[in-house]
Structure 1
């Protein structure tokens, strides 16, 4: 009996110690910076709204179907979310949110195309561009009128993400299954070039001056650096495993790549094309760390307008990691919903 009591007490102390250790070790939000961060949670079917100066969640806004990405239309003060749907449910619309009260205003249908994923605000006021995994269209939507203005076929398969040229009326779309990028003139409403790579290209971004397009290959673990004048690959860069997204810093000095299977973020010097840092997200070192932090899977990347921070959605851990762009270290973490993906910030 005495031995049993000793075992019970020991187990209780172990559990208590683990709980205390877990609470202490959990990453917390400790910085102060301006803006409201919107995090799209796929499995939670919600958008977490987080105040970055006070470090507090304002609201978790439910979305009718599984959302994936988001974009902020500044001149209208509207947040737009792509309603992708699940494996058992196809959706074909966008949700429009008013950041003044963080309420859903309405939804906008995208016609026959379904599973909208990538979305960006366009240089033209009031408008966003959206690509769909099924239908493979680039849709131009007027958020002010709530109308789908036009759809342009990408001529490729599994069109997933996109970026706009900063100076020309061109939108570049990454096509995962075709292993290509469609170059679309949104004034001529046509594909002017298909840049071939190999299967499974996904992440995409363009330099601030528009001279270089960087594209990730999630199967071969590399980045293609493309000259936008010739549409030819200048060089390729090795990455970690499964580089899902990439994003240039505001000053164009660096490019961050989220390596989902490695649980890391690679930092490249955009001029030298050299990897200068690898940021390891907690959760991969050992079993205890996996229990404490969950195995990390970095996905979406967003740069703060002040140029000091990058936000990375940690898909499997239900967190957003905050990276200091001076030290290239994680300085804070935000607890969000289940399987965070897309990010948007209103400053």
Structure 2
């Protein structure tokens, strides 16, 4: 298993396949109240972007995007979705209804954008891993002014932004650090060492707690967002690649790639309270779950299974896998647009 996982890890970095078109129906596993809205998926091996109707689980569109696309973010008003082109230098913007590309914002030589946030203030924020920096893109659909902030760290991979947009925080895989970046005064960034290969990162809705998962040490950490002091250290499942906080702010989950599970953290208790099995440890290498995303109501978790080209829809209360939705080659980055 370790050999196959290592091979796939290499493939995830150098991915590139020919684009395909068409849709794949959802494969139902269980029955539950229907979901609604739209799920967007970046297919990093196929270099495509998928649109899924969650009401029926059908992939209704899959179009060419860019080389090795990764993280996604929908705009505050729901008309656009932004894509980080990890194999290149741009953040590309698409219409959510047709997936037509309407903007390509170049971040410069060797940028390799990865983590991306479309803030409630209307601005975009992206890591530029190859430049050891992040970008604030002001008015992305208009002037698209770009402001670059150095992290000075290797592998500046994922990021979150404060509700007031005064600070951003990154996980820096190569440097084994988490970095706080001041977006207003440009004070020197503050970095602290956190575990082995920190990657997953999430900020509590009120901005009072920063949570990070370190895939190399199988741990999750709570940090003070301002002092960067580690408040809590928790043991998770194996290889917690991502960490996502429920929109209601009460729970977080980590995506434990090596055992195919999710570790559920009660944020008030600061404790792992249960495990959800998305696939068995024996199936984990054939699923290779990566990105995780909550539905807005906090009832479902969407899990990108990159090796099997599926998205698992998980009921949070019961831990059941409700269905698996077929997407493009190497589905990874996820974004959601839900109807009220």
TM-score of the aligned structures, taking structure 2 as reference length: 0.86
Equivalent of 1:306, from 263, 287, 297?
297
Unaligned runs of 5+ in 2: 1-26
Q: How does 1:213-228 map to 2 (within 5 A)?
A: 213-228=210-225
Distance 1:82 1:146, change over 3 A: farther
| Deviation sequence 1:87-146 (CA, Å, 0-9, x none) | xxxx10122101132211231111234211000112322x11000221111111232125
Distance 1:29 1:81, change over 3 A: farther
Q: Contact (CA 8 Å) 2:84, 2:90: kept in 1 or not?
A: yes
Q: Give the Cα–Cα distance (whole angstroms) in 2 for the partners of residues 145 and 76 of structure 1.
A: 16
How many angstroms does 1:155 deviate by?
Answer: 1.7
Q: Contact (CA 8 Å) 1:246, 1:301: kept in 2 or not?
A: yes
Q: Contact (CA 8 Å) 1:92, 1:109: kept in 2 or not?
A: yes
Partner of 1:132: 128
Moved more, 30-39 or 219-228: 30-39
Structure 1 residue 62 corresponds to structure 2 residue 44 = no
How many angstroms does 1:30 deviate by?
Answer: 5.3
How many angstroms does 1:69 deviate by?
Answer: 0.8
- The alignment of Structure 1 onto Structure 2 pairs a total of residues equal to 311
Q: Contact (CA 8 Å) 2:305, 2:331: kept in 1 or not?
A: yes
Q: Contact (CA 8 Å) 1:50, 1:58: kept in 2 or not?
A: yes
Q: SS at the partner of 1:178? A: coil
Which structure has more relative contact order (CA 8 Å, sep 6+)? It is 2
Q: How does 1:89-238 map to 2 (within 5 A)?
A: 91-125=88-122, 127-141=123-137, 142-145=139-142, 147-167=144-164, 169-238=166-235
Partner of 1:38: 40
Equivalent of 2:275, from 274, 278, 295?
278
Q: Give the Cα–Cα distance (whole angstroms) in 1 for the partners of residues 31 and 331 of structure 2.
A: 20
Distance 1:76 1:277, change over 3 A: closer
Q: Give the Cα–Cα distance (whole angstroms) in 2 for the partners of residues 112 and 205 of structure 1.
A: 28
| Deviation sequence 1:298-347 (CA, Å, 0-9, x none) | 21111111221111111111111111122222212111112211100112
Q: Contact (CA 8 Å) 1:255, 1:268: kept in 2 or not?
A: yes
TM-score of the aligned structures, taking structure 1 as reference length: 0.84
Partner of 1:324: 315
Q: Give the Cα–Cα distance (whole angstroms) in 2 for the partners of residues 202 and 268 of structure 1.
A: 17
Distance 1:146 1:316, change over 3 A: farther
